[in-house]
């Protein structure tokens, strides 16, 4: 019996069917060896984009009234099949990304758990925020009409997977399952760095859609090594929303293309973030070495290829600062060089660290040992080396380019004159996904102004921890002000991610039988509703 990794075809998956295309050929590459992987894939063209979206639009008409139980069952089935086919998925993703199999196994568990969480959300239905205001026909001077509103899916969603999470933020990741829970069809643009893993995950989803007896146009996955197919997806008149995780340059290009459409659509792009770590004096004095160890571990998680990677730290000058910096260098020197996800990321990392080194006042104080000749990967494949820079905090305020993310295991540790300068840097920051504070509880209470500033700068504020590692749940907000995202109101991880793909529709004076189930008087879905200004109990 063939294992799933041997089922790769290199074809597009459009509405449940494998479709050959004539676009430019490309292959996955093993970043640990530099060798190409089979099979060959081809770029999707205008015909494939149009066909996928036409099928998605037709599927949307069916999905809007599909039973909630069917949508929930689909998502549960996806989770089940991901786990059943996990070994093949992990093996292929490991080959294409060089990520450790242990890490990928944990990511697969997260991916399946996300699908199950959205299955429960779809079945519950309370996410749709049903609101009812009953009519008051006798009200003077004018009668009050019956008004009801509920969130409903927006239509076909274009999803762009992330290169650094080939399972959890890719074809079967949060974006896709959140859109499905909102009854939206999805067209995924596969990531060119792991096309094989994309096809394997897409096959699982297409088979689950067929199992649930939902329209096959509910899901398609297009492969492409360039920008043409992605831009065509965004510009197509049938696309209703876009979800993207990647670089600032890529996200902004899609955002601008969507805004330039005759009918603009929202682009929910997660992009660049420096994720600052603020170390208050009390914490630096008491825990300098402990914080340094955790900081370097966070910095090098996944070879620094996390969107929450701590790209800068700040502490007040003095003996505690020196102790912290020395401990950081000791820990960083022990980090072995490692292959990055693909050659493009490695090139950008090398360019970014060279740019930092060229800025007067920025000093490279330590780096992990460069690989010896015998330690290099086959065929001279380059590896990323952890690099620690320092600078005076005042430089950050004078050089805007220091706010730019360097994606990889590099960071700048800023020396502040006092806590007032630390606060000034916080005020001068651009938007970020996270901000971290290390301090005592008393210090935190005294630094209320810093917390208030960071509330305006970041989507998640961490106390006495580190920003890498997310806990997908209802309370998580993985987003932040620009340039971290294009819309800071929404999260791309956790069950609240569903709200990117829904919009409110209001019904006035509708007969009960013509209303969506969530708004009918008898509440057949048993969802929690806001009725005449009062939030009702669940199942009442």
- One of 270, 405, 517, 518 is an active-site residue; which one? 270
- As a whole number of angstroms, the distance between CA 161 and CA 167 comes to 9
- Pair 369, 333: CB distance under 8 Å: yes
**297: which 2 tokens?**
């571990």
User: Closest by alpha carbon to 276, among 402, 436, 156, 130?
Assistant: 436
Identify any residues that bridge with 314 across adjacent strands, giving them in sequence order.
Answer: 278, 414
307 among known catalytic residues: yes
User: Closest by alpha carbon to 500, among 518, 515, 485?
Assistant: 485
Give 446's contacts (C-beta < 8 A, 6+ positions apart).
none
Instruction: Kindly list the distances between the CA atom of residue 147 and the CA atoms of 127, 220, 512, 519, 529, in Å, as whole numbers in the listed order.
Output: 19, 37, 12, 10, 13
User: Closest by alpha carbon to 492, among 508, 507, 479, 509?
Assistant: 479
Q: Measured at the alpha carbon of residue 503, what is the angle toward residues 499 and 509, in degrees to the nearest 5? A: 135
- As a whole number of angstroms, the distance between CA 454 and CA 314 comes to 14
Which stretches of 359-417 are DSSP H helices? 393-398
Identify any residues that bridge with 195 across adjacent strands, giving them in sequence order.
Answer: none
Give 289's contacts (C-beta < 8 A, 6+ positions apart).
323, 324, 327
R_g over Cα of the chain: 25
User: What is the sign, positive or negative, of the torsion defined by CA atoms of 269, 393, 352, 339?
Assistant: negative
- As a whole number of angstroms, the distance between CA 235 and CA 140 comes to 49
In sequence order, what DSSP letters do the residues of 191-223 get, joined into one string?
A: -TTSHHHHHHHHHHHHHHHHHTT--GGGEEEE-
User: What is the sign, positive or negative, of the torsion defined by CA atoms of 302, 306, 311, 315?
Assistant: negative
- As a whole number of angstroms, the distance between CA 35 and CA 37 comes to 7
289 among known catalytic residues: no
- As a whole number of angstroms, the distance between CA 455 and CA 83 comes to 38
- One of 184, 307, 329, 386 is an active-site residue; which one? 307
- As a whole number of angstroms, the distance between CA 156 and CA 243 comes to 11
- Pair 290, 390: CB distance under 8 Å: no
Please tell me the chain's helix, strand, coil percentages from 3-state DSSP, rounded to the nearest 5. Answer: 45, 20, 40
In sequence order, what DSSP letters do the residues of 285-346 get, joined into one string?
A: HHHHHHHHHHHHHHHTGGGG--TT---EEEEESSHHHHHHHHHHHHHHHTSPPB--SSHHHH
- As a whole number of angstroms, the distance between CA 292 and CA 333 comes to 12
- As a whole number of angstroms, the distance between CA 237 and CA 327 comes to 55
Active-site amino acid positions: 270, 307
């Amino acid at each position: 019996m063939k294992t799933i990794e041997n089922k790769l075809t290199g074809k597009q998956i459009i509405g449940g069917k494998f479709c050959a295309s004539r676009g430019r050929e490309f292959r996955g590459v093993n970043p640990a060896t530099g060798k190409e992987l089979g099979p060959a894939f081809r770029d999707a063209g205008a015909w494939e984009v149009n066909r996928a979206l036409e099928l998605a639009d037709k599927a949307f008409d069916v999905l809007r009234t599909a039973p909630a139980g069917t949508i929930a069952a689909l998502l549960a089935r996806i989770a089940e099949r991901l786990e059943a086919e996990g070994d093949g998925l992990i093996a292929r993703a490991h080959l294409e990304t060089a990520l450790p199999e242990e890490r990928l196994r944990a990511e697969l568990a997260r991916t399946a758990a996300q699908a199950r969480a959205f299955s429960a959300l779809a079945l519950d239905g309370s996410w749709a925020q049903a609101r009812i205001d009953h009519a008051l026909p006798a009200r003077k001077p004018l009668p009050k009409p019956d008004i009801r509103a509920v969130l409903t899916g927006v239509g076909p969603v274009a999803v762009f997977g992330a290169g650094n999470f080939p399972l959890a933020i890719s074809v079967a990741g949060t974006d896709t399952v959140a859109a499905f829970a909102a009854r939206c069809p999805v067209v995924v643009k596969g990531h060119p760095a792991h096309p094989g893993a994309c096809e394997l995950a897409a096959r699982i989803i297409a088979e689950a859609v067929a199992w649930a007896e939902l329209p096959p146009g509910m899901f398609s996955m297009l492969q492409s090594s360039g920008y043409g197919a992605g831009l065509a997806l965004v510009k197509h008149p049938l696309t209703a929303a876009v979800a993207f995780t990647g670089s600032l340059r890529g996200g902004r290009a899609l955002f601008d293309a969507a805004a330039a459409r005759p009918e603009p659509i929202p682009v929910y792009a997660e992009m660049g973030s420096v994720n600052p770590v603020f170390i208050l004096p009390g914490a630096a004095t008491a825990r300098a070495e402990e914080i340094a160890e955790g900081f370097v571990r966070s910095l090098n998680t996944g070879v620094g290829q996390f969107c929450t990677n701590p790209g800068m730290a700040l502490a007040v000058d003095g003996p505690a600062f020196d102790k912290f910096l020395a401990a950081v260098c000791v820990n960083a020197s022990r980090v072995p060089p490692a292959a990055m996800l693909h050659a493009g990321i490695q090139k950008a990392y090398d360019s970014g660290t060279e740019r930092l080194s060229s800025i007067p006042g920025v000093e490279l104080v330590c780096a992990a040992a460069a690989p010896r000749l015998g330690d290099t990967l086959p065929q001279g494949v380059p590896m990323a080396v952890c690099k620690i820079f320092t600078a005076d905090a005042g430089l950050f305020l004078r050089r805007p380019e220091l706010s730019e993310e360097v994606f990889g295991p590099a960071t700048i540790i800023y020396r502040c004159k006092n806590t007032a300068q630390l606060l000034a840097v916080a005020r001068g920051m651009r938007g970020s996904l996270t901000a971290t504070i290390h301090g005592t509880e008393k210090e935190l209470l005294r630094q209320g102004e810093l917390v208030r500033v960071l509330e305006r700068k970041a989507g998640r504020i961490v106390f006495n921890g580190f920003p890498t590692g997310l806990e997908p749940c209802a309370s998580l907000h993985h987003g932040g002000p620009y340039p971290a995202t294009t819309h800071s109101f929404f999260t791309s991880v956790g069950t609240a991610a569903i709200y990117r793909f829904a919009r409110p529709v209001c019904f006035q004076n509708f007969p009960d039988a013509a209303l969506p189930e969530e708004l009918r008087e008898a509440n057949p879905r048993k969802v929690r509703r806001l009725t005449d200004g009062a939030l009702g109990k669940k199942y009442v």
